[in-house]
Chains A and B, each alone.
Chain A
Amino acid sequence: MNAIREPESPPASARKPAIVRAEGLTKQVSTPDHELVIVREASFEVAAGDSVAIVGASGSGKSTLLGLLAGLDVPSAGRVWIDGEDLFALDEDGRARLRGRLVGFVFQSFQLLPALTALENVMLPLELAGVADAGARASRVLDQVGLADRLGHYPRQLSGGEQQRVAVARAFATEPKLLFADEPTGNLDSATGRQVIELLFRMNRDHGTTLVLVTHDEALAARCDRRIAISAGVVQG
């Protein structure tokens, strides 16, 4: 068994309460000739309010790890607790509800719904959560990301940077305690990428949101409170 150590972390007693806790988290898939382990027995914690960068080479398993932490994928073994709730003791519906309540997610390729305007995209998680003034709140958040004049635009009418800002606004609209971001600047030029990063950290600061992001970008990783390195599916010390 590979020893998984939590790197550079203070003793548990001294830390802020953990909002994410992974234990023995493993994902493997079957290929025609062998079993491929993508993430191997990862165990660590993320404290509330922290910003954490998951870094690693291509194919190291970092996006899969992020997906498992957010409950977007099901592990082959191991457990994840979000805000004390055992994520995989819940069914798909339960996990979706938990995400709706606590989690925001930003994808590398934005993943906005093409049928909906910017405003409707941001309203979507609010409406799903049954928030009454979804429209007003969504436009407020879009204003915060500098898109007040783009409310009625469809994704195809927006630039890549604008689309990612809509995605960030969508992720923060429900004021989640925890935000996962998968290569949030991967599809953007560096200037636009920087703007989006500023936005994420500003939100992290203003709302006290815990930020867990996967990135290639060393500069971005360096701005985070912590970094978790992963190589060939194993979280490194």
Chain B
Amino acid sequence: MTNNFAIALRMLRRNAHSGEARVLAAALLVAVASVTTVGFFADRVRGALDRQANELLGGDLVVIADHPVPAAFVERARADGLAIAQTTTFPSMVAGAAGTSLAEIKAVSSSFPLRGRLRVAPTPVAPDREADGAPAPGTVWVAGPLVSRIGAAVGETVKVGNASLRVAEVITREPDNVLDFFGIAPRVLINDADLAATGLVQVGSRVSYRLLVAGESRQVSRYESEMRPRLGRGERIEGVRDARSEVRVSLERAQRFLGLASLLSVILASVAVALAARRFSLRQTDGAAMMRCLGAAQADIFAINAWQFLLLAAAGCAAGTAAGFGAQAVLAHWLSGFFAVALPAPGWRPAVQGAVIGLVLVLGFTIPPLLRLRNVPTLRVLRSDVAVAEPSSLFAYALGLGALSSLIVWQAGDTRLGAISVGGFAAALGVAALAGFILIRALSRLRAGASGPWRYGLANLRRRTGASLVQVMALGVGIMAMLLLTLVRSDLIVKWQKSMPADMPNRFAINVQNDQLPAVKAYFADLGLATPDLYPMVRGRLVAIGDKTVSPADYTDQRARRLVEREFNLSWAKDLRPDNKIVAGSWWKAGDAAPQFSVEEGIAKTLSIRVGDTLSWDVGGARFTAKVTSLRKVEWDSFKANFFVIASPGMLEAYPASWITSFHLPAGREEVVNRLVERFPNVSVIDLTAIMGQVKRISDQVSRAVEFVFLFAIAAGLVVLFAAITSTQDERVFEGAVMRTLGASRRQMVLTQLSEFLAIGLLAGMVAAAGAVGLTFALSERVLGVPYEFDWVVPVAGLLAGGVGVAIAGLLGTRRAVDSPPLAAIRAVT
């Protein structure tokens, strides 16, 4: 083995400058860089979340409830000698001298926070300091944006509900706001002694009650194990492990998506690796035969070449990991707006992941050509036309394809999504291969009618059907990625934005009470604005589906557990609204007195509710049951108030309800909202334009991240292009030399090469355009709900990019075939 390694090292030094060694290293570099970029970045974000988890909670353990935390929890904590603090959080409007704004009110006990510290300052721009405790009774601490928005400078008075409180500090950092896009409204912190005076905690208010607990870890875990079994409905305990699990889940989902996108480059790279390894082995054929003559065993030949690949792979992986480390810094910089805290340094795990991917690529896609080298007959030394037995290619590459599929499933994080992705990739490549094959055959038939150089170009295309097919597919995928990134993406976004009507609601008003209904309607009418539709909302808990009592433990899905734990907003309606469509069952008919429910299809799927099931609800202690008679599809992006569960008329009217509406506020009419909130202080108005702006900003940044990852796919596509061109370069150089010998002019040689590359490029362009059109169709119709319109620019750009791009790249790549003196070229090749 030592000898084999030494020989391999010496041979690699000779082979390192060959095209295929470079292709192999470059392909690995791109693939590993692509995967580690995503890995390193996700690792840093996860690190930030872990580090912040304690502070996020504000304690070691939190009891969260949608009603005041039962006294038993507080008493037990006191008895156990644990420190406690309590918070009550809800959204509401606050008013200052300069205006009103929606705010996230948090009333805290004087001991808050138990862990971590708030940072405060006298003005938003002044140097901040660690705050000592919480606001004193009669005072309020406000988040920076409110200072200018409503005139809430230190010393001023603001109205929170019915209470007038003096601003004492400006909050510059709150421990529980790591990812600040989740805190949409600015924070207002008050002492819980002032809570009652605000009069804001009413029926239907969205209030979250928390009991924070801190102490020695043994005591805390004993408390947790004692109290967990005693949790009632709407109550849960969160420790550090569960903190921000929603953030974690969405991060994991985003990472999975980016990871799958990064695998596109791995798949392309595998093509380049396979091409390069095959060419490498072809070039080593005679050397291997000679070595066998000199007494090398099959195993020696295998080992010597395998060592060379492994050494190349090590170099490629190391460079790729370094590149990935650099690239994630760019990504982190772009997305830094998301994070209120600095991201910690990434760990080593993504580097291991990159190395695994590099190894899989090398082992999976270089072993088949290596096996071929093992089988080189010794007779080859005497007769170069003795054929080498080829292992059945599908079987030989089964290892690589299997490994690649496992990688995809692993990255997808769940078998089903993984299988769908593998199937999707395979089907897409299969269709592209079939289309490419048919097109190549069809085009090469034109050869008889073509003249001179064109005939030879097309003849080559057919003779190298396999190589041409790989070129067409790899380039097709690369060009498709480029088309989607450049033309389709922006076009789709513009269409989607245009599809939103100009008078789309941009404000939500919530918490309107029963007795305020006529007055609120009259308020809008008096101002000459369209009277908004108000929808009733009753809060209730889902108790049972059919005979089966519902419990969070029945569901593995996080979302389903949360849905079951918290209260639903139930509504009732006589008629089906136009932005709702029945997808199963039927809507109740007028005069149908039987109590019924209509459930939104997404939530029905999450909670496994079917038409015909009976749902039992608990509203303020009263219980009622009715059958589900329809499932609805809801256009959530209409920005109108919508409900997961709607009851038929007559069921809910007796229960305490609040009302919700959405309306369009023309620009410059902010006084409408200010006066509305003045007249009805319990009503909260949510400004959707800010949220929509924020959503747009997030989607812009995320799409930049995706684009960034796709850049690797394009780089991998270019490596494949280079690999594909160099894989047939020996033949081209030889053919060029023979044609030169026979008197071909430069023009004729260029035309021959051009015709072949132009054909390959155009075919790749067709495959790319068809793929891009198909995907655009699916995206617009299925995902964005925008009617699909065929755009000529996409196929034309695909064909142009393919034809012109590949022709230029091909001509540059085969310069040597045209420029070398013929004898040198023939000798070099034969």
Contact = CB atoms under 8 A, between A and B. Distances in A.
Interface of A: 64, 67, 70, 72-74, 92-93, 96-101, 103, 105, 107, 109, 111-116, 120, 124-125, 127-129, 170, 174
A125 B459 contact: no
Contacts of A73: 821-824
B821 A93 contact: no
B740 A96 contact: yes
A133 to B, nearest CB: 13
Contacts of B824: 73
26 contacts: A70-B741, A72-B823, A73-B824, A92-B740, A92-B819, A93-B745, A96-B740, A96-B743, A96-B745, A96-B746, A98-B743, A99-B740, A100-B742, A100-B744, A101-B743, A105-B741, A111-B734, A111-B738, A111-B826, A114-B731, A115-B456, A115-B735, A125-B743, A127-B451, A128-B748, A129-B743
B452 interface: yes
The 5 closest A-B pairs by CB, nearest first: A100-B743, A115-B463, A72-B823, A67-B823, A125-B742
B460 interface: yes
B392 interface: no
Given A73-B824, A113-B735, A114-B463, A170 B742 contact: yes
Interface in B656-670: none
Contacts of A114: 463, 731
Interface string B662-684: 00000000000000000000000
Contacts of A170: 742
Contact of B460 (A64, A96, A115): A115
A194 B279 CA distance: 37
B82 interface: no
Contacts of B462: 115
Contacts of A67: 823
Interface residues of B, number: 29
Contacts of A96: 740, 743-746
Interface of B: 451-452, 455-456, 459-460, 462-464, 731, 734-735, 738-746, 748, 819, 821-824, 826, 830
Contacts of B455: 120, 127
Contacts of B734: 111
A116 B742 contact: no
Contacts of A129: 743
A128 B744 contact: yes
A99 B742 contact: yes
A99 B819 contact: no
B463 A128 contact: no
A102 to B, nearest CB: 9
Given A67-B823, A72-B823, A73-B823, A113 B738 contact: yes
Q: By CB atoms of chain A within 10 A, which of B456, B740, B819, B823 has the most?
A: B823
A93 B743 CA distance: 8
A119 to B, nearest CB: 12
A115 B459 contact: yes
B456 A124 contact: yes
A63 to B, nearest CB: 8
Contacts, number: 83
Contacts of A109: 830
Given A72-B826, A115-B459, A115-B735, 8 more contacts: A96-B745, A99-B740, A105-B742, A111-B738, A124-B456, A127-B455, A128-B452, A174-B743
A116 B740 contact: no
B240 to A, nearest CB: 66
Nearest to B460: A115
Contacts of A93: 745-746
Contacts of A70: 741
**Interface residues of B: mostly helix, strand, loop or mixed?**
helix
B746 A92 contact: yes
Contacts of B451: 127
Contacts of B742: 99-100, 105, 124-125, 128, 170
B700 to A, nearest CB: 50
Contacts of A97: 743, 745
Contacts of B745: 93, 96-97, 100, 128
B739 A128 contact: yes
Nearest to A182: B823
Q: By CB atoms of chain B within 10 A, which of A100, A105, A109, A112 has the most?
A: A100
A129 B822 CA distance: 18
A72 B741 contact: yes
A125 B738 CA distance: 10
Contacts of A113: 456, 735, 738-739
A103 B460 CA distance: 26
Nearest to A123: B455
Contacts of B826: 72, 107, 111
B459 A124 contact: no
Nearest to A103: B743
B456 A99 contact: no
A127 B452 contact: yes
Given A92-B740, A124-B742, A116 B821 contact: no
A74 B463 contact: no
Contacts of B741: 70, 72, 99, 105, 111
Contacts of B819: 92
A77 to B, nearest CB: 16
A93 B451 CA distance: 21
Q: By CB atoms of chain A within 10 A, which of B455, B734, B738 has the most?
A: B738
Contacts of B830: 109, 111
Given A113-B735, A116-B456, A116-B459, A128 B743 contact: yes
Contacts of A174: 743
A70 B823 CA distance: 10
B456 to A, nearest CB: 7
Contacts of B822: 72-73
A124 B460 CA distance: 14
A16 B821 CA distance: 31
B471 to A, nearest CB: 16
Nearest to B447: A120
Nearest to A99: B743
A114 B385 CA distance: 13
A92 B460 CA distance: 24
A92 B452 contact: no
Contact of B459 (A107, A112, A120): A120
A174 B748 CA distance: 17
Nearest to B462: A115
A108 to B, nearest CB: 9
A236 B452 CA distance: 44
A92 B456 contact: no
Contacts of A112: 738
Contacts of A107: 826
A187 B45 CA distance: 68
Contact of A74 (B740, B746, B821): B821
B764 to A, nearest CB: 20
A174 B731 CA distance: 25
B821 to A, nearest CB: 5
Nearest to A173: B742
A93 B824 CA distance: 16
A124 B746 contact: no
A225 to B, nearest CB: 25
A129 B745 CA distance: 9
Contacts of A105: 741-742
Nearest to A167: B738
A115 B455 CA distance: 11
Nearest to A130: B452
A216 B738 CA distance: 24
B734 to A, nearest CB: 8
Contacts of A72: 740-741, 821-823, 826
Contacts of A100: 742-745
Q: By CB atoms of chain A within 10 A, which of B745, B746, B821, B822 has the most?
A: B822
Contacts of B460: 115
Contacts of B744: 96, 100, 128
B69 to A, nearest CB: 82
Nearest to B459: A115
B752 to A, nearest CB: 10
